[in-house]
Amino acid sequence: MSTTESPSAGPTGVGFDIVRDLVRADNEAGTFGGRVQTRFPPEPNGYLHVGHAKAICVDFGIAAEFGGVCNLRYDDTNPDTEDIEFAGSIIDDLTWLGFPPGTPLYASDYFEQLYLWAEHLVTNGLAYVDDQDGETISAQRGGYGKPGTESPHRDRPVAESLDLLRRMRNGEFADGSHVLRAKIDMQHENMQLRDPVMYRIRRGHHWRTGDEWVIYPTYDWAHGQSDAIEGVTHSLCTLEFDSHRALYDWYLEHLPLPGDQPRQTEFARLELTHTITSKRRLARLVAEGVVDGWDDPRMPTLRGLRRRGYPAEAIRAFCSYIGVARTNSRHSIELLESFIRRQLNEQSLRRMAVLRPLELVITNWPVDAGGNPVVEFHEVVNNPENPGDGVRMVPFSKVVYIERDDFMEVAPPKYFRLTPGREVRLRSAYLVTCTGCVKDADGTVREVHCTYDPATFGGNAPDGRKVKSTMHWVSADHAVDATVALYDRLFSAEVPGEATGEPFDDLNPDSRELLTDCKVEPALADTPAGSVVQFERLGYFAHDPDTPMRFHRTVGLRDEWANIQKRN
RNA sequence: UCCGGGGUCGUUCAAUGGUAGGACAUCGGUUUUUGGUGCCGUCUAUAGGGGUUCGAAUCCUCUCCCCGGAACCA
C-alpha cells in the first residue's frame, strides 16, 4: 500500500524519502540480500495516538513499498505496566488506520532465547550478576563528564555468575536483589555502555507468560535481539534512542548470529501544538477525569480522532506529508486540520443544521384550503464537490429556524446576513427580505419576520438581482432535535505544559461546548453512525457511533467572518 | 560539566558546491446558491564570525542557541 498517492493527498511533502534513500543504499550495497523488513514495536501500556500514526505509516509504508514485511511486535518486557486491554486496542487502531497487522509477534515469545544468550555472554565473560541495589548501581554509573566506578562483583568468576543467574531465574532471590549486567566499560563516554542492566527480578504477573518468569529483560537487552530473531533489516525508532544504538550493536556483535544484523536508525517523533503525545500524560487526563476516556474526541489518540471523525486517509496523507527528519519539530495542529478539511470537503455530504435556533416567520407565506401553511419540497445538492452523490428533497414552509448569529437588528459594516430591509437567500429555497423582529421584554429577539418573493423559487431571481448572503435553515414543522458537541483545543497554549512539564497547566476550560437544542433537517437522521457530514456553513460533524442524533464537530470551516470580527 | 543529535520564511519540510522552493498561517484579488471550496497573487528565512572556492545553506573552523542521554521504563 502506498501512503503517498491518493487523489486527496493534497500537497506532497518530502515524505519518507530519507528512509527510502537509506533502504536503496542498502539494497545497492547488497546488504541483507536486498530484503527489507521493518517492525512496529509498541509497548501495550496505553492507546495509540497520532504520534504513533507517523511511525506506523513509515514502518508499514516503507516495507510495503519495497515488497517487504512489517510485523506488529508487542514490546512486552515489563509485566508491571502492560495490559491485554491495550494489546487488543492496538490491533483495532492499526486496522482502522489502514494497516491491518496480520499475526502479531511478542517479545515475550523470545524470553527463552534471550535467556540462553544471556548465559552465552556470561560464559564468555561479557556479563555478570551484580548483588547491589539500584541506588548504588545508579550512583556508581558516574555522571556526564565523570567516569563511573566498577561494581565489586564485576570480576566475580564466570561460574559464580552463571550459578547466580540460574538461581535468579529459578526464583531463589527477592525482587530487586540481583541484576544481570553486561560487562562493557564503566568509563565509557556514552552512559548507555556503562555496564547496562540486562535482567531484573520482578514478580509482576505478565499478561501473556503469567508467572512463568521472575526475571525480565530490559528494553535494550530485548529489542535488538528481537529484531534479529525476526529478520528485521531496518529498525526505525525515535531520536531519544540515538545513544542506545551503540548498545544495540554491541549486543548483536557479541552474540552468535549469522549474516547481516539489523540496523537501528533514529528519526524525530511527531509532536503537535495544542496537544500532548505522552502516554503518561494522556493517561493522567483520563485518570483524573479531565476527558471522558481514551476515546474522548478531544484526545489525540487514534480512537479519539476516529470518534471525532478524522478520516484515516487524511491522517495518512498528513503523516506522509510531514515526513521524517532528524530535526526536532512541533507541527502546528492547523496543518493536520487542513488535511482533515481537504479530505472531508471532498467526501462529506452536505446537510442543513441550526445550532442555535431562531425562528424566521415568512409573513406572506400562503395557506392551503384547510387554512394551514403550504408545505413545499426543495431540491438540494448533497455534495457540490461530488455530483454523483445526487440531490435530496428538503421540506420548507412558513416558519424556519435560522442561526441566531444570522440576524442582527443593527448590522455592522461588512455584515451580509439578515437585518431589517436586507434581502438574502435561503439556500435552495427563496430570496427573503427582512421586515423586522419580535422581542421579549428583556430585549431578546424571539422571532424574525420576513417576506418572500415567490418568483425566486429555488433561490434565483428572474431579474438577475444578486444577494450577498446565502443562509442555511431548517423547516420548524419538520425539524429534528439533535445534540451537538463543539470542540476546541484541549490546550490553549501553543506548547502545552512546557513550562512545568505537567499536563494540566494550560488546559482550556472551554474545550467542549454541548448544544442540546439544535434543529436539524430530517435527512440527517439517516446518516450512518461514524459518518461525517458537513453542516452547511458550519463545519464538519461526525455522527456519534453510540448515540443517535448526537454529533461531534470534527473541524470548523475556514471562517473569514470570524476573522473580520476579530480585526474590528 | 562530558557524549551524541540538531539550527533554512511566523511554523514545517526541501534545495547535498551552481536562480533558496513548497505547504500551513497571513494579507489581497477572483469565482461561487456555503463568508466553504476552487483559482490567482502577496509576504517573510540560510544563528553569528572567520576561512576554502569563479561560486557556500551545503565544505573547514571558532562561537552561540536548542534537543536527547547518568530507570532494575520503553
Respond yes or no: is residue A146 known to be catalytic: no
Strand ranges for A441-520 from DSSP E: 445-452, 470-471, 474-475, 480-487, 512-520
- How far apart CA A72 and CA A416 sit, in angstroms, is 55
Residue A105 confidence (pLDDT): 97
Catalytic residue (one of A39, A43, A350, A425): A43
pLDDT reported for residue A28 = 86
The letter for the amino acid at A265 is T
For residue A355, count CB atoms less than 10 angstroms from its CB and return exposed for 0-12, middle for 13-18, buried for 19 or more: buried
- Closest-approach nucleotide to residue A467, Cα vs C1': B33
pLDDT value of residue A501: 64
Structure confidence at residue A5 (pLDDT): 32
> In this predicted structure, what is the pLDDT of residue A9?
44
C-alpha distance from residue A64 to each of A58, A71, A311, A446, A551 (Å): 10, 11, 21, 61, 36
Cα–Cα distance, A70 to A36 (Å, whole number): 9
What pLDDT is stored for residue A11 in this prediction?
63
Q: Which residue is nearest to nucleotide B69 (CA to C1')?
A: A243
Span A493-540, pLDDT tens digits:
887 776 566 778 888 888 999 999 999 999 999 999 999 999 999 999
- What digits encode the pLDDT tens for the residues A213-238? 999 999 999 999 999 999 999 999 99
Whole-prediction pTM: 0.94
Note the pLDDT of residue A4.
Answer: 31
Phi, psi of A337, deg, nearest 5: -60, -35
How many CB atoms sit inside 10 A of residue A210's CB?
A: 9
E strands present in A297-429:
349-351, 353-354, 357-362, 376-381, 391-396, 399-403, 423-426
CB atoms within 10 A of CB A93: 24
Nucleotide nearest residue A107, measured CA to C1': B74
**Chain B positions with any atom < 7 A from a protein CB:** 1-8, 10-15, 22-27, 33-38, 66-74
Quick one: which residue's CA is nearest to B14's C1'? A14
Q: Which pLDDT value is given to residue A473? A: 98
End-to-end CA distance of chain A: 49
Q: Closest Cα to residue A146, out of A188, A185, A179, A178?
A: A188
Q: Is residue A340 within 8 Å of A382, Cβ to Cβ? A: no
pLDDT for the residue A7? 34
Which residue, among A414, A302, A382, A402, has the nearest Cα to A51 in the 3D structure?
Answer: A302
* A390: Cβ contacts below 8 Å, ≥ 6 apart: A382
**pLDDT by residue, tens only, chain A of 568 residues:** 233 333 334 566 667 888 988 898 889 889 999 999 999 999 999 999 999 999 999 999 999 999 999 999 999 999 999 999 999 999 999 999 999 999 999 999 999 999 999 999 999 999 999 999 999 999 999 999 899 999 999 999 999 999 999 999 999 999 999 999 999 999 999 999 999 999 999 999 999 999 999 999 999 999 999 999 999 999 999 999 999 999 999 999 999 999 999 999 999 999 999 999 888 889 999 999 999 999 999 999 999 999 999 999 999 999 999 988 888 888 999 999 999 999 999 999 999 999 999 999 999 999 999 999 999 999 999 999 998 999 999 999 999 999 999 999 999 888 999 999 999 999 999 999 999 999 999 999 999 999 999 999 999 999 999 999 999 999 999 999 999 999 999 998 887 776 566 778 888 888 999 999 999 999 999 999 999 999 999 999 999 989 999 999 999 999 878 777 766 6
Give nearest nucleotide to A415 (CA–C1'): B35
> E strands within A37-116?
37-40, 69-74, 105-106
Q: List, in sequence order, the alpha helices (H) in A177-325.
A: 219-230, 245-253, 279-287, 302-308, 312-322
| Pair A295, A302: CB distance under 8 Å | no
DSSP A359: E
pLDDT of A213: 98
- Å from the A329 CA to the B54 C1': 38
- pLDDT on residue A562: 78
* Structure-block grid coordinates of residue A168: 535468579
Predicted local distance difference test score (pLDDT) of residue A543: 97
Q: Which nucleotide is nearest to A45 (CA to C1')?
A: B74
pLDDT of residue A500: 62
Query: According to the model, what pLDDT value does residue A14 have?
Result: 65
Q: Collapse the DSSP code of A402 into the 3-class scheme (helix H, G, I; strand E, B; otherwise coil) and give the result.
A: strand
Sign of the alpha-carbon dihedral angle for A226, A228, A230, A233: positive
Query: How far, in Å, is the CA of A407 from the C1' of nucleotide B43?
Result: 36
**Integer CA distances (angstroms), A164 to A156, A179, A349, A399, A534, in order:** 11, 10, 68, 85, 66
- The alpha carbon of residue A170 and the mean position of all alpha carbons in its chain are separated, in whole angstroms, by 43
Q: What is the pLDDT of residue A498?
A: 66
Q: Between vectors from CA A220 to CA A215 and to CA A221, what angle results, nearest 5°?
A: 45
> The C-alpha cell of A429 is what?
429555497
**Residue A242 near residue A217 (C-beta atoms within 8 A):** no
Does A466 qualify as catalytic in the annotation?
no
Question: How far apart (Å, rounded) are the C-alpha atoms in residues A63 and A151?
Answer: 43
Q: Which of A39, A183, A200, A269 is catalytic?
A: A269
Tell me the CA–C1' distance in angstroms for A345 and B20.
34
Residue type, A135: E
Q: List Cβ neighbours of A151 (8 Å cut-off, separation of 6 or more).
A: A128, A130, A132, A137, A140, A181, A195
Q: Protein A330 CA to nucleic acid B59 C1', in Å?
A: 30
A427 counts as catalytic: no
Rounded CA-CA distance A250/A248 in Å is 6
A335, HSE (Cβ side, Cα atoms, 13 Å)? 16
